[in-house]
A and B are shown apart, each in its own frame.
Chain A
């Protein structure tokens, strides 16, 4: 054999010996053996090992015992072999665990899909409702007052199916600010909504439209703040009541 040629691996020879190589590979191995005495020797040794020893050539028991006695102390000095076939022992657990994780993921994903679908339906319905004109939506002028008696509160009366109402704010303070902020609070306490970016209209008032969904029946206080740079100053406080007669059955 050419000295530079690479020898066949033990695995290749073992597969050839067992007859498990495909035809083209078998021919390649055979061709190599023709010119490589070393690989042929290895194949013959493997064959001898696999086919067992002729009983006449079997080493005597005493020789084997002596060999074992010489080997044994070295085994003790050798790091103990790890448990054989660790993957075999753990292999059955892994697919099950993987399966559980996949099942969990699939369930979570399914729940998320269903949730998103429901939310989508609800949003479509809301958008559909809001897209409809609100006929006869009330408009109420409010002037800034303080300590107004509950009995004298201006009232916004919503139609049974009314969804919006509009407030016109007329502050007494004549100062002008860059922009304005509105804070809507329940009279009993608790902020309902806060918005910034409000500007005076051409006639010096402010108009705001609220949804019934945000500000349902009840007493409210609306504070108007003027903003100039980092400065924030109260411009007026408006109190009102929202009333809604019962919806027709």
Chain B
């Protein structure tokens, strides 16, 4: 999340309304759409970039999103929030790409059974697993269970902050967005949660608990 920039949300919303009204008038539709593209190019691109797509894919997906907007703008109702509508189109493009990827992957797996020209059998099969050995795995499971139990004893909002921090590795500001509270509230909850968990679990878990100093706000 970024703090509101030089162009506030309300200001941008006003610009969007103006652009849509001008597109509605029917004159220079393409030129007005260009303004919309310039306004939303970066945030749309970042939606895909943050999800780990390479730059070329991000450009493709951004293009697909704007084409979707251009063709569907007639069905857009002003009662809906334009950002949400645009975001939905972007998410549709994203999910479609995921489906293609998984379909490609399945096709690739089928081919690999037959072998490829590059596959000369030189690559040795891994002899050891990347998974933890059974004893370590059992210990990890036990630590997770104990930690979950301790988390369950925390007050609701404190537990939620800690869960998002531990299980989803979110930053203060991201937790604040997810829980619709201020980052300061998140900080305070996490500070209290750490103290309580340390009291409950002792020094054994001290290393496992996320440290608030590690993340930026």
Contacts and interface: CB of A to CB of B under 8 A. Distances in A.
A85 B6 contact: no
Interface stretch (B37-45, B131-139, B187-195): B37-45
Interface stretch (B64-72, B108-116, B119-127, B208-216): B64-72
Interface string A57-69: 1110001100110
Contact of A43 (B20, B26, B178): B178
Interface string B168-196: 10100010011110000000000000000
B5 A55 contact: yes
A64 B70 contact: no
A6 interface: no
A233 to B, nearest CB: 81
B39 to A, nearest CB: 9
A45 B50 contact: yes
Nearest to A79: B71
A71 B81 CA distance: 24
B46 A71 contact: no
Question: What is the size category of the interface that chain B forms with chain A?
Answer: 35 or more
A55 B84 contact: no
A105 B32 CA distance: 46
Interface residues of A, number: 51
B87 A51 contact: no
B185 to A, nearest CB: 14
A16 B178 CA distance: 9
23 contacts: A11-B84, A14-B87, A18-B81, A26-B180, A33-B178, A42-B91, A44-B178, A48-B2, A48-B50, A49-B40, A49-B87, A50-B83, A51-B3, A52-B9, A54-B3, A64-B41, A67-B59, A71-B67, A75-B67, A80-B29, A83-B26, A85-B24, A85-B76
Interface of B: 1-9, 12, 20, 23-24, 26, 29-30, 33-34, 37-38, 40-47, 50-51, 59, 62-63, 66-67, 70-78, 81, 83-84, 86-88, 90-91, 160, 163-164, 167-168, 170, 174, 177-180
Given A46-B87, A71-B63, 12 more contacts: A18-B81, A30-B179, A34-B164, A48-B43, A48-B50, A49-B44, A52-B8, A52-B43, A64-B42, A68-B37, A71-B67, A78-B71
